[in-house]
Amino acid sequence: MNDLTQIVDALRKRGNKVTPQRLTTIEVLLSMGQQHFSVEELFQGVKQRNLDVGMSTIYRTVQILEEMGFITKRNFDDGFARYELCELDEKHWHHHIICLKCGKVIEMQDDFLETLEKEIEEKKEFIIINHELKVYGYCSDCYKIMKGEKFD
């Protein structure tokens, strides 16, 4: 997990300003943990701290942190860009299960594609850097409502 000092040091080393507004933005982002967040949700969290911060500051900070590899953009096909903190020592990102009814996103830490990756690398002489898997369906709560029965 990234911490505030690591991010601030990297920003300064890169030549980016670390203003009070940017610092608060990073603190709020870190407090969100592994939650998937939109820029608007991050903005609301920063505004709760009563800072004079504009949406452009939030967008620019998110862009810089994404470029630096501290956060990554996710698309869950719901029309919104979402972001999450990166684990820089992970070989692959985790996978996501997405409910088509309520939009709930469940993270899967298991990497079910390792065997497939090895096969692709050997048979196709292709070096895989990363992959992303999204599985769509219905969470148990929505399934219960839709079917009027328990999901087992």
Write out the binding residues for Fe cation: 114, 131
pLDDT tens string 132-149: 788 889 999 998 888 876
Q: Which domain holds residue 51?
A: 1-89
- The parts of the chain modelled with pLDDT lower than 70 are 1-2, 87-94, 111, 149-152
- Phi and psi torsions of 134, nearest 5°: -125, 130
Is there a single domain that holds both residue 76 and residue 123? no
pLDDT tens string 61-73: 999 999 998 998 8
Write out the binding residues for Zn(2+): 99, 102, 139, 142
Looking at 89, 111, 143, which one is the last position of a domain?
89
Write out the binding residues: 99, 102, 114, 131, 139, 142
Is there a single domain that holds both residue 75 and residue 118? no
**Residues near 115 by Cβ (< 8 Å), separated by ≥ 6?**
none
Is there a single domain that holds both residue 100 and residue 80? no
Q: Answer yes or no: are the C-beta atoms of 138 and 93 closer than 8 Å.
A: no
What is the CATH classification number for the domain harbouring 130? 3.30.1490.190
Domains held by the chain: number: 2
Q: For residue 74, what is the enclosing H or E element?
A: strand 71-75
Place of tokens 């990102």: 93
